[in-house]
């Protein structure tokens, strides 16, 4: 070799080896380890070193020259100590990727704990936008509606593949076990991760889970999805928790919800608001169902009636102000609440005459009767009470 020629660095040596046919004298173990260490110390691989220190894994393996020459993948020693490189980026072609490419995949991947109806909603929306998804479920390892997502072996692996993890496991005890148990979801959680709980449960269990998140120093958002929905995409998703976590993970929630609304930093705020919305939505649907059942029995065209009901709903806030209004000088029976009570009473009489049960109509009538009785205690101008239904 020419003495004036510069001695190639280990990285340049490796590049030359990868371009040449496999030589008969293989590199010894010391050379291989030196090259591997040089890759880790290279400026473009700072992310690998940072991740290794985060997880404090000291295991070291020496890769064979043949494996590095043929597959051109990151060395097994790096894979064993670097949790974010254990799963190959689904968009890569099998070549060594830069730290920037790895970080992009890590930031834009999605992980989901548990397979439920909410899982299917979230994952299908993500896959339709070409977002790689990783799933863990303690029983289900394949689902026809989740083709394209990758199932992993333990909950802890979910945080190794992405920084945003959705919790869909509805069973509160199982959810706690999968998060805090051995090789659970919280095992490798760092300050970069955001855990989003989309399950519905009691305030007691939500508070208990929030305390565990605090214990493990987990950034957790509460974004419950209520059960009654008619479209593959949510109309509204309410979120509460740390605002910085919300801003960093909002783009993931926007994949499956038209509107994502931050309620409050209080963990239970979204749970409470969503519970109320779900109850209103359910009552509305059941009330419309009663109305359509009565319409059908009376021979009215159902599609037309449904369209008319939706058209007649109007602005809820205006209707609330109107029904609670008490115009000065009017008897309560001819106030908006009194007139609404009479309208509902007519509907009940109509249903009774045809033998159609409408319990929600009856419940609404009782509420309106209570309201008009309260209004009747106020002074009014008329001395003669108009004829009303009772």
287 near 360, Cβ under 8 Å? yes
Q: Per-residue DSSP letters for 4-57?
A: TSPPPPHHHHHHHHHHSPPPSSPPPHHHHHHHHHHHHHSGGGHHHHHHHHHHT-
The helix or strand, by DSSP H or E, that contains position 353, with its residue range, turns out to be helix 336-353
| Of residues 14 and 122, more confidently modeled | 122
Res 277: pLDDT: 87
- Answer whether residue 128 shows pLDDT above 70: yes
Q: Which residue carries 């009856």 as its tokens?
A: 362
Question: Can you point out the beta strands (E) in 169-226?
Answer: 194-197, 220-222
Distances (CA, A) of 100 to 18, 24, 104, 162, 256: 22, 35, 6, 14, 27
Q: What are the tens digits of pLDDT across the range 335-363?
A: 777 778 888 889 889 889 888 888 988 88
Secondary structure class of 239 (helix, strand, coil): strand
Res 283: pLDDT: 86
Measured CA to CA, the distance from residue 157 to residue 187 in angstroms comes to 9
- End-to-end distance of the chain based on CA atoms, in angstroms? 110
- Answer whether residue 52 shows pLDDT above 60: no
- Answer whether residue 271 shows pLDDT above 50: yes
- Answer whether residue 43 shows pLDDT above 60: no
Nearest to 337 by CA among 376, 380, 371: 371
Q: Which residue carries 């992980």 as its tokens?
A: 111
Q: CATH classification of 109-276, choosing from 3.30.9.10, 3.40.50.1100, 3.40.50.720, 3.30.70.20?
A: 3.40.50.720
152 near 136, Cβ under 8 Å? yes
Q: What is the DSSP letter of 84?
A: G
The sign one gets for the Cα dihedral 312, 315, 320, 323 is negative
Measured CA to CA, the distance from residue 148 to residue 127 in angstroms comes to 7
Q: What is the DSSP letter of 87?
A: S
Residue 316: φ, ψ to 5°: -60, -45
Res 97: pLDDT: 46
Q: Per-residue DSSP letters for 136-178?
A: E-SS-S--GGGBTBEE-SSGGGHHHH-SEEEE----HHHHHHH
Q: Per-residue DSSP letters for 310-347?
A: HHHH--HHHHHHHHT---TT--GGGSHHHHHHHHHHHH
Measured CA to CA, the distance from residue 115 to residue 149 in angstroms comes to 12
Res 323: pLDDT: 66
Measured CA to CA, the distance from residue 12 to residue 98 in angstroms comes to 16
Copy the structure tokens of residue 344. Answer: 């509902």
Measured CA to CA, the distance from residue 303 to residue 348 in angstroms comes to 22
Q: What are the tens digits of pLDDT across the range 69-107?
A: 333 333 333 333 333 333 443 333 333 345 666 666 678
**pTM assigned to the model:** 0.63
Delimit the domains of the chain by residue range: 10-95, 109-276, 314-376
Lowest mean pLDDT among 32-36, 126-130, 163-167, 240-244: 32-36
């Amino acid at each position: 070799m020419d003495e004036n020629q510069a001695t190639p660095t280990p990285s340049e040596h490796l590049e030359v080896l990868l371009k040449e046919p496999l030589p008969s004298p293989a590199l010894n173990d010391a050379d291989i380890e030196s090259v591997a260490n040089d890759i880790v110390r290279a400026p473009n691989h700072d992310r690998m070193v940072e991740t290794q220190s985060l997880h404090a894994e000291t295991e070291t393996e020496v890769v064979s020259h043949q494996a590095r020459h043929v597959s051109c993948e990151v060395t097994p020693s790096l894979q064993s100590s670097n949790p974010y490189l254990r799963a190959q980026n689904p968009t890569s072609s099998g070549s060594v990727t830069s730290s920037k490419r790895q970080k992009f995949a890590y930031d834009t991947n999605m992980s989901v704990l548990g397979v439920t109806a909410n899982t299917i909603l979230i994952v299908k929306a993500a896959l339709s936008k070409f977002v790689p998804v990783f799933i863990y479920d303690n029983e289900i390892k394949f689902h026809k509606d989740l083709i394209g997502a990758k199932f992993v072996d333990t909950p802890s692996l979910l945080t190794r593949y992405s920084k945003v993890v959705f919790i869909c496991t509805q069973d509160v005890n199982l959810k706690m076990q999968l998060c805090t148990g051995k090789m659970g979801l919280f095992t490798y959680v760092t300050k970069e991760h955001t855990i989003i709980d989309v399950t519905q449960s009691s305030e007691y269990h939500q508070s208990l889970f929030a305390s565990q998140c605090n214990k493990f120093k987990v950034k957790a958002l509460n974004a419950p999805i209520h059960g009654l929905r008619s479209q593959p995409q949510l109309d509204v998703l309410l979120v509460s928790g740390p605002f910085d976590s919300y801003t960093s993970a909002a783009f993931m929630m926007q994949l499956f919800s038209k509107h994502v609304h931050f309620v409050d930093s209080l963990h239970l705020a979204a749970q409470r608001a969503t519970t109320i919305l779900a109850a209103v939505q359910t009552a509305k649907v059941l009330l419309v169902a009663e109305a359509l059942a009565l319409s059908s029995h009376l021979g009215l065209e159902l599609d037309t009636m449904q369209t008319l009901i939706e058209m007649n709903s109007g602005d809820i806030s205006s209707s609330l102000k109107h029904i609670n209004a008490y115009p000065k000088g009017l008897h309560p029976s001819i106030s908006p609440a009194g007139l609404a009570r009479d309208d509902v009473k007519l509907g009940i009489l109509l249903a009774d005459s045809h033998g159609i049960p409408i319990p929600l109509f009856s419940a609404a009538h009782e509420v309106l009767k209570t309201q008009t009785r309260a209004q009747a205690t106020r002074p009014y101008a008329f001395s003669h009470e108009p004829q009303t239904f009772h």
